[in-house]
């Protein structure tokens, strides 16, 4: 619809035609507004429609924010960028004046009005008259809509009524879109939750490192719920000790929070039900430690972990705001707790399987030892010396475990060597040695078939590699390129071999063996390992 001359200049029938046309447009607004896909889209539709129907030059809409301020959300017709500075306090005189009236406010000459305080806007934009109405949904006042002209204009009673009806339609539309936005946000949040849970459970099923799994689950939960921190407290199988995993806390912070959380965890474990505290600081002033106040924790939700119907831990989520937790949020935390419990169960099961498997292999190693009368007990002794070296070197626990397994299995490849050569009482021929030299490779191939023993494959393959590049198998590697475990086992293996009787020679004394290790240090053996072993 184009520009319409002021109503007073129209002939009566023309004026009536225009009014009918405006009312008709008003009737159409509801269905039009319902097609808006977002608040911004709707506001742009409202502004265009309002300027059209009211035949004015400028339209501005303010919406209330969470702090009670009116923020300009959209404007049309302004020549400057003053829109950015048009934030108003809800309690300001002008806003109160617009809000308290049942009918829109009209001002013929804004420049002279004492009610209008946006003087900068009037001067720079050369504005003359205005019409303003509150946007109201039910009892809630959510904003203001204002139209202005650059020439002075007396708004007629019909103009005011139409503007009033238009502001009601606009408020209704905004309310509907906001409801839609809330529903849409909830759906999106739900999708985000499901997606995070899926990622967590995928991670839990893909990885075998329980520490890593629990850390990832807690971190993802903290991010998803925008929590301050998360704490997982798990009772071990004997139920006498606990282990904890935290997210969002420093070491000192975790210590302080665990002290506070301990008693509440016991309460959750006893009851077996979730515990929700909307405001810790007012809930238990004496127990909310300085740390809780300092780091701004306000609310928490704690849920028990169930493993085979037994309570074996508690998952706690600490929030930075006072919060009434929705049922969905508590259910979400319970799902995460279930995932943690499942991961812990799986890890324990895997540990049992690995232990059984290792015992079987240990038995196999003993059988190999038993085949050779002269090397009986050799593997166990190599393991003992290797662990001693690991301890002296400060090797991390995880790698020490790998060295332990590898030392037990280092000669497993001998199952592939002719028993007559293994048990031969005299000196081995060159041909015999060529066959014996195959055992590290055969051993590595056997162990590589067992998934969780993959870490020890290179240790077994290179346990006869010499530090200066000699030894076997091919291709040869030197120095620090030889896996640390292989260099450790090489020293332990040689020391036990020298101090044990062999079919082709007698054992030498420990003193002589030590001298031999020193002599070969830097050539056959890693000098650092020899030094630590002998000290
Ligand atoms: Fe060997």
Distance 301 CA to ligand 1 centre (A): 57
CA distances, 408 to each of 396, 452, 453 (Å)? 19, 15, 12
Distance 450 CA to ligand 1 centre (A): 20
Residue whose pair of structure tokens reads 């959300």 in the numeric block: 73
Model-level pTM? 0.55
Distance 353 CA to ligand 1 centre (A): 27
Distance 443 CA to ligand 1 centre (A): 9
* Dist. CA 447–CA 153, nearest whole Å: 93
Distance 446 CA to ligand 1 centre (A): 14
Sheet holding 88-89, edge to edge: 88-89, 69-76, 58-64, 140-149, 129-137, 105-107
pLDDT digits (tens, 9 = 90+) for 465-494: 999 999 999 888 999 999 999 999 999 999
Distance 410 CA to ligand 1 centre (A): 6
pLDDT at 192: 81
Distance 439 CA to ligand 1 centre (A): 7
Distance 237 CA to ligand 1 centre (A): 38
Give burial (CB, 10 Å; 0-12/13-18/19+) of 516. Answer: middle
Distance 411 CA to ligand 1 centre (A): 5
* Dist. CA 239–CA 236, nearest whole Å: 5
306 token code pair: 């169930």
Distance 481 CA to ligand 1 centre (A): 19
Distance 435 CA to ligand 1 centre (A): 12
User: With contact defined as beta carbons under 8 Å apart, do 82 and 124 qualify?
Assistant: yes
Distance 159 CA to ligand 1 centre (A): 101
> Which of the four CATH numbers 3.30.450.40, 2.70.150.10, 3.40.50.150, 3.40.50.1100 does domain 207-348 have?
3.30.450.40
pLDDT tens, per residue, the chain with 535 residues: 444 455 455 566 666 666 666 666 666 666 777 677 678 888 898 898 889 888 899 999 998 887 778 888 898 988 877 777 778 887 778 888 888 877 789 988 888 887 777 777 888 888 899 999 999 888 888 899 999 999 999 988 888 888 888 888 888 888 887 777 777 777 788 788 788 888 888 877 777 788 889 999 999 999 989 999 999 998 876 556 688 999 998 888 888 888 888 888 888 989 999 999 988 877 665 555 677 888 888 899 999 998 877 888 999 999 998 888 888 889 999 999 999 998 888 888 888 887 887 788 778 777 777 776 666 688 889 999 999 999 999 999 889 999 999 998 899 898 888 888 887 877 889 999 999 999 999 999 989 988 778 899 999 999 999 999 999 998 889 999 999 999 999 999 999 999 988 766 788 999 999 999 999 999 999 999 999 999 8
CA distances, 118 to each of 78, 83, 416, 471 (Å)? 14, 11, 94, 90
Distance 396 CA to ligand 1 centre (A): 24
Query: Is CATH 3.30.450.40 the classification given to domain 14-180?
Result: yes
Distance 50 CA to ligand 1 centre (A): 91
Please list the residue range(s) of the chain that carry CATH number 3.30.450.40: 14-180, 207-348
Backbone φ and ψ for 276, nearest 5 degrees, come out as: -125, 125
Q: What are the residues whose beta carbon lies below 5 Å from ligand 1 (ion)?
A: 411
User: What average pLDDT is seen over the chain?
Assistant: 85
pLDDT at 4: 46
DSSP conformational letter for 246 = E
pLDDT at 149: 94
For the domain spanning 371-534, the CATH number is: 1.10.3210.10
Distance 440 CA to ligand 1 centre (A): 6
Distance 460 CA to ligand 1 centre (A): 8
């Amino acid at each position: 619809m184009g520009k319409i001359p002021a109503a007073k200049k129209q002939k009566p029938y023309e004026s009536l035609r225009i009014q009918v046309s405006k009312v008709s447009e008003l009737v159409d607004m509801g269905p039009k507004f319902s097609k808006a896909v977002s608040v911004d889209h709707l506001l742009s539709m409202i502004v265009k429609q309002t300027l059209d129907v009211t035949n004015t030059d400028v339209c501005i809409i303010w919406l209330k924010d969470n702090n009670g301020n009116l923020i300009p959300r959209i404007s049309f017709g302004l020549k400057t960028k003053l829109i950015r500075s048009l934030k108003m306090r809800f309690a300001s005189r002008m806003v109160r004046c617009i809000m308290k009236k049942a009918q829109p406010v009209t001002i013929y000459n804004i420049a002279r009005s004492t009610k209008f305080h946006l003087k900068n806007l009037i001067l720079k934009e050369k504005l003359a008259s205005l019409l303003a109405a509150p946007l109201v949904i039910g009892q809630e006042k959510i904003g203001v809509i204002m139209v202005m002209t650059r020439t002075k204009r007396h708004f007629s009673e019909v103009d005011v009524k139409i503007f009033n009806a238009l502001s009601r339609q606009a408020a209704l539309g905004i309310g509907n879109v906001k409801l839609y936005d809330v529903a849409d946000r909830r759906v999106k949040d739900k999708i985000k939750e499901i997606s995070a849970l899926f990622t967590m459970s995928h991670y839990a099923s893909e990885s075998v490192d329980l520490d890593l799994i629990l850390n990832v689950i807690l971190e993802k939960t903290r991010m998803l719920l925008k929590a301050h921190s998360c704490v997982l407290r798990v009772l071990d199988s004997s139920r006498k000790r606990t282990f904890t995993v935290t997210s969002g806390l420093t070491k000192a912070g975790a210590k302080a929070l665990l002290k506070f959380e301990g008693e509440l965890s016991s309460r959750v474990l006893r009851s077996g039900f979730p515990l929700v505290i909307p405001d810790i600081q007012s809930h238990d002033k004496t127990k909310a430690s300085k740390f809780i106040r300092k780091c701004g924790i306000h609310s928490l939700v704690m849920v028990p972990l169930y493993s085979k119907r037994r309570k074996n831990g508690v998952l706690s989520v600490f929030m930075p705001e006072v919060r009434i937790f929705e049922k969905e949020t508590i259910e979400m935390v319970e799902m995460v707790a279930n995932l943690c419990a499942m991961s812990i169960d799986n890890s324990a099961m895997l540990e049992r399987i690995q232990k059984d498997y290792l015992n079987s292999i240990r038995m196999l190693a003993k059988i190999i030892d038993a085949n050779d009368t002269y090397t009986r007990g050799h593997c166990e002794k190599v393991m003992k010396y290797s662990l001693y070296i690991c301890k002296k070197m400060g090797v991390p626990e995880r790698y020490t475990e790998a060295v332990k397994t590898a030392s037990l299995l280092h000669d497993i490849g001998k199952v592939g060597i002719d028993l007559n050569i293994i048990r031969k009482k005299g000196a081995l021929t060159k041909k015999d040695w060529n066959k014996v030299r195959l055992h590290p490779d055969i051993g590595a191939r056997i162990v590589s078939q067992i998934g969780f023993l993959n870490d020890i494959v290179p240790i077994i393959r290179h346990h006869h590699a010499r530090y200066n590049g000699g030894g076997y198998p091919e291709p040869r590697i030197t120095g620090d390129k030889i896996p640390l475990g292989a260099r450790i086992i090489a020293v332990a293996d040689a020391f036990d071999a020298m101090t044990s009787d062999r079919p082709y020679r007698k054992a030498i004394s420990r003193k002589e063996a030590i001298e031999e290790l020193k002599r070969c240090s830097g050539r056959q053996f890693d000098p650092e390992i020899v030094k630590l072993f002998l000290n």
